[in-house]
Amino acid sequence: MAAGSIKVKMVSTAEIVKNGKKRVTGYYRTTKVNPRAEKKLEKVMYDPVIRARVLFKQAKIK
Give me the domains of the chain, ranges plus CATH numbers: 6-59 (2.20.28.120)
| Average pLDDT value for the chain | 89
Residues in Cβ contact with 26 at an 8 Å cutoff, skipping those fewer than 6 apart: 12, 49
Q: Residue 47 above 90 pLDDT?
A: yes
Q: How far apart are CA 40 and CA 20, in angstroms?
A: 31
Rounded to a whole number, what is the distance in angstroms from the first to the last CA of the chain?
19
Average pLDDT over residues 9-32: 90
In this prediction, residue 37 carries a pLDDT of: 84
Residue 55 gets which letter from DSSP? E
Element (H, E) at 31: strand 28-33
The CA-atom distances, in angstroms, between 59 and each of 21, 30, 31, 49, 56 are 23, 10, 11, 19, 9
